[in-house]
Amino acid sequence: MNLARWLGIATIALIGASPAMAKDWKTVAVAMEGSYEPWNFTDPSGKVVGFEVDILNDVCARAKITCTVIQTDWDGVIPGLNAGKYDMFMDGMSITPERQKRIDFSIPYAQSSTSLLALKNGPLSHMQNEGKTIDLSKDDDDTKDAIAKLRADLKGKNIGLQVSTIFATFADKYLKDVANVKEYKTTDEHDADLLAGRIDVTLAQTSYDLGTLAKPDSKDLQFVGPRFEGGAILGPGIAAGFRKEDKDLQEIYNKALQAALDDGSVKKYSLKWFKIDITPSGK
């Protein structure tokens, strides 16, 4: 064996024996849709602001990390993460078993039920189980009865929701055979169609709907019917998303987020943006 060939083999062996170098998380790129008010949205100056931006700024300061926000389409946020376009995302995403097959989540920083909005003078201004919260994790007779009544109320109606969301999954399971389900790229689009009377009702997070109802042009809208939470479809909470191999970044984020939950900072941001406390139970 000549010397050059031996050196090549030795070099390969040395590289193969070396442990993988951990990434130095001094800068982190964070994806957000930038059009999901008040979670994260673009203000008139072009800056992304909102509940999740405040949490991110807090967490990054505690962890001594420089974080930058990258805007991306909602339906591409998980593929973009796994393709390495950014390091993590915060985009009002609920933890579900299906999503956990593809990515990891942080500890939850919020919980929000699912609700329906309709026109005050529209065909769905009065629905059964008005204001009642249904826990889908129970799957008992009361839950089944609530779903049956929801299906009856929405039979033949036009439902608007955002594509690739838990609301789309909910509608696919419970409503698609009785109602007309229309998927939108953004929530702003389905809100506009609801106000114009092109759809009868929207399905979205209650926390998002509260922000919608606070807008002056939403004075003709109201909550209708029951609210839903829990179960495999709606999940246990809302959290940040990470690539499965980036356990170290997830750990850094979780440690700082837990501190922000414990000292009441996340609750403060919730009250600022939603006027209610949507932090996880017990925080």
Give tens-digit pLDDT for 26-68: 999 999 999 999 999 999 999 999 999 999 999 999 999 999 9
Question: pLDDT value at position 11?
Answer: 37
> Which candidate, 61, 207, 188, places its Cα nearest to that of 53?
61
* CA dist., res. 108 & res. 261, Å (int): 10
- Alpha-helical segments (H) within the chain: 3-17, 51-63, 77-82, 97-100, 141-154, 166-174, 187-195, 206-213, 231-234, 247-262, 265-274
Looking at residue 122, its amino acid is G
Above 50 in pLDDT, residue 8? no
Alpha-carbon gap, residue 108 to 140, rounded angstroms: 26
pLDDT of residue 35: 94
CA distances in angstroms from 169 to 93, 102, 173, 184, 216, listed in the order given: 13, 17, 6, 14, 30
The two three-digit tokens of residue 192, written as one number: 């506009």
Q: What is the per-residue pLDDT across 117-149, written as a single tens digit (0 to 9) for each?
A: 999 999 999 999 999 999 999 989 999 999 999
Average model confidence (pLDDT) across the chain: 92
CA distance 27 to 65: 6
Token code pair at residue 2:
């000549």
Whether pLDDT at 4 is above 50: no
Contact 258, 239 (CB under 8 A): no
The pLDDT, as a whole number, for residue 23 is 83
pLDDT tens digits along 82-131: 999 999 999 999 999 999 999 999 999 999 999 999 999 999 999 999 99
Alpha-carbon torsion 174, 75, 238, 43, what sign?
negative
The single-letter DSSP state of residue 218 is: G
pTM (2 d.p.) = 0.86
The mean pLDDT value for 147-160 works out to: 98
- What tokens appear for 153 in the block? 């109320």
What local confidence, expressed as pLDDT, does residue 131 receive? 93
- pLDDT (0 to 100) of residue 157: 98
Asked if the bond preceding 79 is cis, omega within 30° of 0, the reply is no
